[in-house]
Amino acid sequence: MLTQAPKGTQDVLPQDSYRWQTIEDTMRRVASLAGYREIRTPIFEHTELFQRGVGDTTDVVQKEMYTFNDKGNRSITLKPEGTAGAARAFIEHHLFADPLPAKMFYVSCPAFRYEKPQNGRLRQFHQNGVEVFGAKDASVDAEVIALAMDVLRENGIDGLRLAINSIGCPACRAAYHEKLKAYLEPKLPTLCETCRDRFQRNPMRILDCKEDAPKLTDAPAMLDSLCDDCKEHFDKLKAYLTALSIPYEVDPRIVRGLDYYTKTVFEIITDTENGPLTVCGGGRYDGLVQELGGPETCGIGWGMGVERMIMVQDARGTAPEAPALYDAFVCTLGDAARLEGVKLVRELRQAGVKADLDHAARSLKAQFKYAGKLNARYVVTIAEDELARGVVKLRDMAESAEREVPRDAVAAELRK
């Protein structure tokens, strides 16, 4: 077990890390074009932050957190998601005193949930995300959704389903819960065990139960119970999305498992051979900052699973090509040539040419084979003859064309 990564964790190997870097680059580029700046928060926080922020009746907090006491006997939790930490930092550093909205993003942020791993679900996973604090107009809801779609599209992932919903504000949701409970109560005995439990904790979830939902088609819908303010917000969001030519479907079953959401919630879903998979999920959290002790500040954001994006790229064959490891591989024959080769490789690197030479004491032929396997664009050969004449052989591997180049002109030649 010593040489086995813990359950639900994954290594990103050198040959694969470019996939992550490409996705990270895209995220940085797209987000900064919209005025978002990167935030980095600790990988662990006080447990209470998530109990208060995410909500201590949620599955995430109740069953899935990596919680432990540190040596000072503080209860510490590895963050299960990105929003609570960002909100805490927003409050702690008085970012509410800056010009609002405060727009921020994070990249390949580790998150931890103690769950049984399966397809697209790990115990340590990574999210890209955005958070916006202090913007109440639905135009920002549409903006963050547009950003998510753009990030996905620029990573070769499009044609995804955008599903949106509104779960209202504390005022209209409380009223709705009463209506819903009144409707459900007589049916309780016919519901499954989990749903009888949900009845107290989060009755809206029952409408998303695969077992019970079909029996409850005439249940009152949150969308029909929104207060005027929430309804107007949702209508505006739809108008903005339409203006941006972003197709969406309204899915009243989207509830989200984190307590802080209000009004807008959304998911971006891909259909895999194993069924639908959410690649990105988020929503508005107008009560979160205040709940955590900050000034009344609205907010909205999303998280996007990096591993899931990579899965989708793989499934669709839209993964970017691996960048070439070397522009030039230097092959040498003889000790004097080898010394020259070591010098040349360093020169090339300093000139911005990706270069290397054999470090395994291989035969010339094996050096060529190695260069071929690593897809080096050029092979530079130096032996006694070339050394004496102040030249090198420059071979274009794809063309199988070889020519002589003056030793001093190699770097310039390869930078062309």
Partner RNA sequence: GUGGGUAUGGCUCAGUUGGUUAGAGCGCUAGGUUGUGGCCCUGGAGACCGUGGGUUCGAGUCCCACUACUCACCCCA
- Residue whose CB is less far from RNA, 32 or 363: 363
Min. distance of Cβ 397 from RNA in angstroms?
4
What distance lies between CA 138 and its chain's CA centroid? 24
Contact 137, 229 (CB under 8 A): no
- Residue whose CB is less far from RNA, 73 or 274: 274
Calpha distance 282→256 (Å, rounded): 8
Min. distance of Cβ 98 from RNA in angstroms?
26
Calpha distance 191→197 (Å, rounded): 10
Min. distance of Cβ 277 from RNA in angstroms?
7
- Residue whose CB is less far from RNA, 115 or 327: 115
Min. distance of Cβ 33 from RNA in angstroms?
23
- Signed CA dihedral, 403, 408, 414, 415: sign only: negative
Could you give the strand order of the β-sheet that contains 378-382, starting from the edge strand earlier in sequence?
355-357, 328-332, 378-382, 391-396, 401-406
- Signed CA dihedral, 287, 289, 295, 298: sign only: negative
- Residue whose CB is less far from RNA, 98 or 249: 249
- Residue whose CB is less far from RNA, 100 or 397: 397
Min. distance of Cβ 11 from RNA in angstroms?
12
Min. distance of Cβ 220 from RNA in angstroms?
19
- Residue whose CB is less far from RNA, 233 or 256: 256
- Residue whose CB is less far from RNA, 140 or 337: 337
Min. distance of Cβ 396 from RNA in angstroms?
8
- Residue whose CB is less far from RNA, 145 or 304: 304
Calpha distance 8→125 (Å, rounded): 9
Min. distance of Cβ 97 from RNA in angstroms?
29
Min. distance of Cβ 99 from RNA in angstroms?
28
Verify cis geometry, omega within 30 degrees of 0, for the bond prior to 101.
Answer: yes
- Residue whose CB is less far from RNA, 169 or 330: 330
Residue written as tokens 């900064």?
A: 32
- Residue whose CB is less far from RNA, 169 or 279: 279
Q: What are phi and psi of 121, to 5 degrees?
A: -135, 115
- Residue whose CB is less far from RNA, 89 or 204: 204
Min. distance of Cβ 13 from RNA in angstroms?
11
Min. distance of Cβ 83 from RNA in angstroms?
8
